[in-house]
A and B are shown apart, each in its own frame.
Chain A
């Protein structure tokens, strides 16, 4: 079976990816590669990954998201994770995956506001 591609949308200089289906390992790795390439191609300054539709985030996906944030950071792009369900937040912490270095927001709207602030700050040269 071919791996599922997660659509990555571009709005201004921000990329938005909303993960709508349970990712198996290969499609998750494909998503990481696609997203990093798209950051490079579009020179996006921020990426929002929306997980509202996911009811399970296991250690593999959790680690992959932390990796994506670190890798995008190396390229100069900020990542904000949005929409984690309560059950997902609980299981991630109980698993031992607190994602301390990943920025998060309650929902996509708050994530966009946060991203705007972050990119404006970097315009000032303060970040």
Chain B
């Protein structure tokens, strides 16, 4: 059965709700404690980016399967200002806000696959996956 859950990000409280949801799904899918923490932390970083830069957006978590491997997919979407220079935001230490500039590169390191689609003044969609061992 494909598990899918979604959370709306509107406030800093929703960041905690989204990452708890992601952890619960990861646990149900059989991820171990350390991967659960990686997944929850990555969602926390990505949900905070939505809150800080776009104000509102959605986080969807679902089960994925590829080449007989099971995994978890997290999609973070917003209709915010978009990212003008993706290479720049993926650099450690780059930040335009009160963050430390490790949200996106940090989340990427915690996950296995990571892609960003973004258009200025249209929005940003970040899709990332982690595969179960």
Contact = CB atoms under 8 A, between A and B. Distances in A.
A110 B65 CA distance: 45
- What interface size band does chain B fall in? 20 to 34
Contacts of A55: 23, 36-37, 40
A74 interface: no
Contact of A59 (B12, B23, B45): B45
A19 interface: no
B72 to A, nearest CB: 15
Interface stretch (A7-15, A83-91, A116-124): A83-91
Given A56-B41, A60-B48, A87-B36, A25 B15 contact: yes
A56 B119 CA distance: 31
Nearest to A1: B13
Contact of A95 (B20, B40, B48, B106): B106
Contacts of A86: 33-34
Interface string A88-101: 10110011110000
Contacts of A94: 38, 106, 109-110
B100 interface: yes
A97 B44 CA distance: 15
Interface string A105-123: 0000000000000000000
A95 B102 contact: yes
Nearest to A97: B102
A58 B102 CA distance: 10
- By CB atoms of chain A within 10 A, which of B16, B19, B45 has the most? B16
Given A24-B13, A56-B19, 15 more contacts: A23-B16, A24-B15, A24-B16, A58-B19, A58-B48, A59-B99, A59-B103, A60-B44, A85-B37, A86-B33, A88-B37, A90-B34, A91-B37, A94-B110, A97-B102
25 contacts: A22-B16, A23-B16, A24-B13, A24-B15, A26-B12, A55-B36, A55-B37, A56-B19, A56-B41, A58-B41, A59-B103, A60-B48, A85-B37, A86-B33, A87-B33, A87-B36, A90-B37, A90-B38, A91-B34, A91-B37, A91-B38, A95-B45, A95-B109, A96-B105, A96-B109
